[in-house]
Amino acid sequence: MKPPILALIGLLLLPAGLAGCATGAPPAPRVVTEADGGPVALARGQTLEVRLGSNAGTGYGWRLDREAAPLVLSGGSSQDVAAAPGLPGGRLTTVYTYQGAGRGRTDLAFTFKRPWEPDSPGDRKVVFQVRVR
């Protein structure tokens, strides 16, 4: 008589155990800066923040040269965040945000320059080779 009761208890507890596995915390966001240029590994669903610094009053800024493949990274939003709001010409960070969408590899390429100047070989560049697993 005991084995059927144990089997029944096991069947009743199985959904609760599986639900606990499905609600695991998402991976922490991966934050990279210019110094981290190169390979970047992400999990599907993980957020990638690319933080690139500049000074607002110089005319220089970061330009996205190579957008990510949308099947690998989704989102692609950007915003400028001032280090000290209300300080004209102060330190500024441009934050590009993506989400790991599917397995694969893609590149994100950025150039630091004034938008009205022509491209030159000496331009400051950073490339992130993103792999989503």
Rounded-to-integer distance, Cα 124 and Cα 108, Å: 14
Residues contacting residue 54 through CB under 8 Å, at least 6 positions apart: 60, 61, 62, 91, 92, 93, 94, 112
Range of 100's domain?
A: 27-132
pLDDT for 51-78, tens place per residue? 999 887 888 999 999 888 888 989 888 8
pLDDT at position 100 is: 93
Percent of residues, the chain, with pLDDT higher than 90: 53
Residue type, 26: P
* pLDDT higher than 70, residue 8: no
pLDDT for 32-49, tens place per residue? 999 999 999 999 999 999
> What's this model's pTM, rounded to 2 decimal places?
0.75
pLDDT at position 56 is: 74
pLDDT at position 46 is: 95
User: How many domains in the chain?
Assistant: 1
Question: Domain for residue 12, yes or no?
Answer: no
Question: Domain for residue 6, yes or no?
Answer: no
The CATH number for 56's domain is 2.60.40.2020
